[in-house]
Structure 1
Amino acid sequence: MTAEVRVLSATGMLGSGFLESSLERGVALAPHVIAADAGSTDGGPAYLGSGTPFFSREATARDLRLMLRARARLGVPMIVGSCGFGGGDAGVDWTRDIVLAIAREEGMRFRLALIRSEQDRDYLKRRLREGRILPLHPAPPLDEGVIERSAHIVGAMGHEPIVAALEAGAEVVLAGRATDTSLFAAVPLMRGAGAGPAWHAAKTLECGTAAVVQRKRPDCLFAWVREDHFDVAPCDPEMRCTPQSVASHTLYENADPFLVTEPSGVIDTTEAAYEALDARSVRVRGSRFRPSGQVTIKLEGAELAGYQSVIVAGVREPYILRQLDAWLGGMQARFAERAREAFGFGPGPGGYDLRIRVYGRDGVMGRLEPRAGELGHEVCLLITVTAARQETARAVAKSFAHFALHYPIPEWGGLISGLAFPFTPAEMDRGPVYRFTLHHVVRPDDPLEMFRTEMLEV
């Protein structure tokens, strides 16, 4: 067993950047692995559904180049997970192409593992019929039709496929959708660190400097993982970790402050103790990992919901603000009549979906807004029109913008212009829009069976 496993988290998300000086400080600490997460569901379903990346090629290549150079100097593995943000096959291929271009330019040679997490539809249908796909709360209804019409479906791998690739000789691993923690737990577990400290350290490292006090920018975080504890510190000397900042990170993207569910078990921080080693670093003891005995792989899917046009408008007229809901409700009802006259269809299937968010009142939280009754002197309306074709969405949006602009109120006897448009034309095309289709887990026979690994000599 290795007495200590050192892990360098390059950044909270590949492409978001980090200081070169921080990376150099991390390299000087001789890590056994460099890793970075590259994706999430945080940005919504568009990236998985469309297969397009979140960050630009330039920003992603900059981070990868520096990480690959550091890996070559150290001779240690480099791991990137959830490539391309959505983690589908297109994201893995996109990241692979960037890595291959950098390797050619830099004259690098290494063994590259590509682990794909996009799922076979026939496999998922079979598992569904077997009762081995279970919903997570809240989950949309699932049947074989949902599986078939989803543009892309991925499974969030645990550490096992990554460990298998490293044991097969991979020096650089580009993985599809993966749990953030699995990227950072793989090497410590391989090298014999305690499971509790390894997984809890991984949870702390996953978002880079999100675990520091008042993070000023994405940057590198470093952990020393041992049998019964781990230490963690930021690589930028101007940042600092405290017991509170590290402990609070178990709440990030997690419903329970003490229990974090992974494919193979649960990270239990109930008895974890956090101790300040100095002004910038923290030691954590008492973390445990409880194996579940049954691997569960979370499924994420997205389907095309239609094509969308958007209108942004401001309202400052006090008479309108006093009756805003009635005004907007009447406007949409009357416009449905106008749409049937002009287009031969109204709202609903085969027609259009029109939604209005009121920013300045409840645009962010909707029905959950506790101060929705408070209204300032102006509001912003974000109006979306979604239809099966972009041309239809645009046509409806154009008509609605003009219709809404002059929609009357009882207090006004003549023509009214109640909206202020900041842009011309008022409507803007967003193109295809997506919605999530799955929030479920699969119970496979083996933690590797849902993932495909390809080895390349670079």
Structure 2
Amino acid sequence: MSKHTAARELRILSPTGALGSGFLESSFNAALEQQPHVIGCDAGTTDGGPFALGAGKPSFPRLAVKRDLRLILLGARRIKVPLLIGSCGTAGGEVHLQIVHEIVREIAREEGLSFKLALIHAEQDKDYLKTRLRQGRIKPLHPAPEFDEEVIDRSERIVGMMGTEPYVRALEMGVEVILAGRSSDTSMFCALPHMHGFSAGIALHAAKILECGTAAVVQRKTPDCMLATIRDDHFEIGPLDPDLRCTPQSIASHSLYENADPFLLKEPDGTLDTTRARYEAVNERLVRVRGSEFIPAETYTIKLEGAELAGYQTILIGGVRDPYILRQLDDWLTRIRARIEWRVKDVTGLAPDEYALNIRVYGKNGTMGALEPVQEFQGHEACLIFEVTAQTQELASTIAAMTRHQAIHFPIPEWSGLITGVACPYSPAYIERGATYRFNVNHVVEPDNAYEMFPIEIVEI
């Protein structure tokens, strides 16, 4: 590394925007030929909702994760550079971290690999969180749900989103592979630049783009590799697939992605400020960025993510094409809801606030719900999804079965006698979704230091 740092140049490879989403092997091999100093990969997200965190199950299939991991791990060991993977198993809890750990061990046995591995744990001890809460060192973000010791107790798990520091400490221990729990999207890409004294603003801005792989190209055809070269006063970034290209606009606009502010990106130790960043084309595929700045935080904070069981869910899918029903769809659904609530009360004794019935109308406002600006129904058919959430699966399915019968035969004034207004494509009509979860934490904790929440375990593979 000394000959590389003497030249003040650091090359960082991101194989893909999410471990398990795939990348072109040809692009990865082309990247390895450029001799990156480190390979980093983000494996987590909350985009898919709370299920991964609550249920302890990754979002990507095991086979897909193993395919990506095999190529990345073999590549890193071949050119002898560190491999850093963050937010293992999508949500980065202990069960998620161990799932990826097991896959890595499996690959190592199959390929005859040996290396020094660090596991950085991110799932939080509930007693620790209660202590910090009593000390007034857990603060809400906006918007934040109620957070108390009862919330902590009923959470399936709560993770802390680590910054760069635990990665740096693990690298200083001489490890060759790092598997980390829940992490800031940029943390695994900033570790080596941080160790070697590169500009925090330059490194963090490059990391923000790298973590999504080829999301910042002009037109992405598939998830794929991106390579950034960091120097003292700028970075250059671009794709490895010759059919892809970056432009100043595509790189600059990426600051809007997954970010509340187009210029400011908050991290545990401070904020990336791209207000003065300048973007220029190096060639038709590569972009140079200067002027990115870092504002240190007054207080070091770690964001918490938690999920709890919301109940058990059963859904019913049906289609409506009758023009008479569609012309009065909102009123018809309001009357159906009232009828279902009456029937459920009559049979089970449950009041409407003791379960949840949600009706999604695809073709009208199924995607945006109350935010949909088009209020008048304009299609020739609509898809209805009746979603029932209750305390048990049996109860949810019981209510869904009653919902089916009430909905498909619900009358309208234009028709006399028995009608069938909803066509259900499946038999049985309802589908049991199982346990469903909700996020229950949007807070930050103020630790004593950047490491106390993230113990490091060294493993010889």
Determine if the TM-score, normalized by the shorter chain, exceeds 0.5: yes
1:207, distance to aligned residue in structure 2 (A): 0.4
Question: 1:43 and 2:48 equivalent?
Answer: yes
Q: Is the 8 A contact 1:155 1:297 kept in 2?
A: yes
Q: Is the 8 A contact 1:196 1:228 kept in 2?
A: no
Which of 121, 130, 135 matches 2:126? 121
> In the aligned structure 1, how far is the partner of 2:377 from the partner of 2:79?
58
1:325, distance to aligned residue in structure 2 (A): 1.5
Partner in structure 1 of residue 380 of structure 2: 377
Which of 270, 275, 282 matches 2:275? 270
Question: 1:153 and 2:187 equivalent?
Answer: no
Partner in structure 2 of residue 455 of structure 1: 458
> In the aligned structure 1, how far is the partner of 2:300 from the partner of 2:230?
24
Partner in structure 1 of residue 95 of structure 2: 90
Q: Could you say what secondary structure the match of 1:202 adopts?
A: helix
1:346, distance to aligned residue in structure 2 (A): 3.3
> In the aligned structure 2, how far is the partner of 1:346 from the partner of 1:418?
26
Structure 1, 211-220 or 367-376: larger mean CA deviation: 367-376
Structure 1, 144-153 or 403-412: larger mean CA deviation: 403-412
- Cα offsets for 1:243-279 (capped at 9, x unmatched): 0111111110001111000010000100000000001
> In the aligned structure 2, how far is the partner of 1:403 from the partner of 1:366?
23
Which of 218, 236, 250 matches 1:245? 250
Q: Which amino acid aligns with 1:367?
A: A
1:374, distance to aligned residue in structure 2 (A): 3.9
Q: Is the 8 A contact 2:11 2:37 kept in 1?
A: yes
Which of 168, 175, 180 matches 2:173? 168
TM-score of the superposed pair, with normalisation by structure 2: 0.97
1:331, distance to aligned residue in structure 2 (A): 1.1
TM-score of the superposed pair, with normalisation by structure 1: 0.98
Partner in structure 2 of residue 279 of structure 1: 284
> In the aligned structure 2, how far is the partner of 1:36 from the partner of 1:167?
19
Partner in structure 2 of residue 365 of structure 1: 368
Q: Could you say what secondary structure the match of 2:365 adopts?
A: coil
Question: 1:78 and 2:83 equivalent?
Answer: yes
Structure 2 unaligned runs (5+)?
none
Partner in structure 2 of residue 288 of structure 1: 293
Partner in structure 2 of residue 389 of structure 1: 392
Question: 1:193 and 2:186 equivalent?
Answer: no
Q: Is the 8 A contact 2:43 2:87 kept in 1?
A: yes
Q: Could you say what secondary structure the match of 1:257 adopts?
A: coil
1:347, distance to aligned residue in structure 2 (A): 2.1
Partner in structure 2 of residue 435 of structure 1: 438
Question: 1:416 and 2:419 equivalent?
Answer: yes
1:411, distance to aligned residue in structure 2 (A): 2.1
> In the aligned structure 2, how far is the partner of 1:383 from the partner of 1:455?
49
Root mean square deviation, CA, Å:
1.0
Instruction: Give the share of equivalent positions with the same residue, in percent.
Output: 59
In the TM superposition, what are the counterparts of 1:207-218 in structure 2 within 5 Å? 207-218=212-223
Q: Is the 8 A contact 2:326 2:377 kept in 1?
A: no
In the TM superposition, what are the counterparts of 1:45-60 in structure 2 within 5 Å? 45-60=50-65
Q: Could you say what secondary structure the match of 2:339 adopts?
A: helix
Count how many residue pairs are aligned between Structure 1 and Structure 2: 456
Q: Which amino acid aligns with 2:387?
A: T
1:105, distance to aligned residue in structure 2 (A): 1.0
Instruction: Report runs of 4+ in structure 1 exceeding 6 Å deviation.
Output: none
Which of 4, 13, 19 matches 1:14? 19
> In the aligned structure 1, how far is the partner of 2:441 from the partner of 2:94?
18
> In the aligned structure 2, how far is the partner of 1:193 from the partner of 1:29?
20
